[in-house]
Amino acid sequence: MPTTCTRRLRSPRRPGLAPAALAALLLLAAPPARAGAQDLSALQGLGETLLQRVGDAVVAVSRGDNAGAATALAEAHGIAGQMTTMARDGATAEELGRRAGAVARAMAALGTRLGRASEVAADPGGNPKRQLKVLRAAYARTLQAGSRLGRPVIEEVNARSAGFHRPGERVTFRIYAADGSPCTDPPVVTVQNQFSSEAVDLGLVAATNGEVSLTMGSGKGGARVTVTACGRSSTRLLYNYGPRVPAGLPEGFPAGLPHGTYALSFSASGVVNIPETPLGTFQNTDIRAFAKQLLAAFQQAVAAVSVPGCTSGVGYSPFDGTSFTVTVPVTCTVNGVTASITVTFRVRRL
């Protein structure tokens, strides 16, 4: 389950016109809305959804859910195609004016990149580091393409990072109004760590003078940062690479586990449902030997629910002081029929 924090900052109330009188003046002063503006707003909304789908793929592939990553990228590819069509035709193209061609070309190129990223992410036997690198590039390109639609609601000061950081790093976003000017209204900031990760330290979130600052936490994984201010809202992914993994450990395996006895159990859901079943206990006196023993037990349990031709991935959760989990999605195709099962291992310190 995601862990969440929300910060809402308010400006002091100031004297002014009564709400009814102010509303009447605004109605008299505001020009009639144009259909094109509504179409451009719809295009920008699709851009937000597109960015979120690519972020979903990043989080999925980091957990070893290759099928989930491929599904999210397929949805993103479809949205990019829809946005390409909108930028070329009708009222949206008229509203974009000279930018229409550049927007359409950027979205078409993005669609091609997302298609290639989907092929890389879908391979459960692929190199996780390469898959994450490809998805980081896809996320960065999605941010760039979206910026052609106008100034984003929030923009990271260190744009080159594309939201990918190491534990302890400080991240700052600037907030902008619809006309591209700095927005200094008190924002509402919501941060959600995905799948119980500690990607962002929820106790170190601050918003002052048109900026939002956050500190990356200690755990590997993704977090959603949503900022609402000046009548606009946007969500960005912050991804934490997590602590550097010592040589000899599998990618993502929790480092720094305390020595002691650990109990291993597993469960499964999907075409086969298996309740939590104990697999035995293991001693951790050397982290590399401990990891090797656990991997052998994982492989044996997965083999029990697999047949030749099955593919699988693997994703590790951070150690929370008591336990950590290992998720292994398995996909099998037999005689043209495809079925999936997710095996979850729980490693608990006794």
Spatial contact of 310 and 331, defined as CB atoms under 8 Å apart: yes
pLDDT in the model for residue 271: 82
- Alpha-carbon distance of 340 to 329, in angstroms, equals 7
The C-alpha atoms of residue 52 and residue 55 are separated, in whole angstroms, by: 5
Which token pair is 214? Answer: 């956050």
Burial class (CB in 10 A: 0-12, 13-18, 19+), 196: middle
Task: Write the DSSP assignment of 313-325 as a string of letters.
Answer: --EEPPP-SSEEE
Give the length of the chain.
Answer: 350
Secondary structure element (H or E) that encloses residue 268, with its range: strand 260-270
pLDDT at position 20: 41
- Residue 161 is given by DSSP the state G
The dihedral region occupied by 234, where left means phi > 0, alpha psi between -120 and 50, and beta the remainder, is beta
Strands of 170-175's sheet in order across? 154-156, 170-175, 211-216, 200-208
**pTM (2 d.p.):** 0.70
* Amino acid letter for position 52: Q
Residue ranges of the domains in the chain?
Answer: 35-150, 151-244, 260-349
Tokens 């957990």 locate to 63
273: left (phi over 0), alpha (psi -120 to 50) or beta: beta
CA angle 105, 110, 113 (to 5 degrees): 135
Predicted confidence (pLDDT) at residue 12 exceeds the cutoff of 60: no
- Residue-wise pLDDT tens digits, 215-251: 999 888 899 999 999 999 999 999 999 877 777 788 7
Q: CA distances (Å), 93 to each of 98, 100, 104, 112, 150, in order?
A: 9, 5, 9, 21, 14
**Arithmetic mean of pLDDT, 54-67:** 89
Pick 197 or 16 by higher pLDDT.
197
Fold of domain 35-150: Four Helix Bundle (Hemerythrin (Met), subunit A) (1.20.120)
- Going by CATH, does the domain composed of 151-244 fall within 2.60.40.10? yes
Which value, to the nearest 10 degrees, does the dihedral of the CA atoms of residues 153, 231, 15, 6 take? -70
Beta-bridge mates of residue 328: 343
Q: Name the percent of the chain lying above pLDDT 70.
A: 88
Contact 207, 167 (CB under 8 A): no
Beta pairing, strands 170-175 & 211-216: antiparallel
pLDDT bracket for residue 57 (50, 70, 90): very high
* Rounded Cα distance, 103 and 91, in Å: 14
Yes or no: say if 78 and 114 are a contact pair by the CB < 8 Å rule: no
Question: Per-residue pLDDT averaged across 172-197, rounded?
Answer: 92
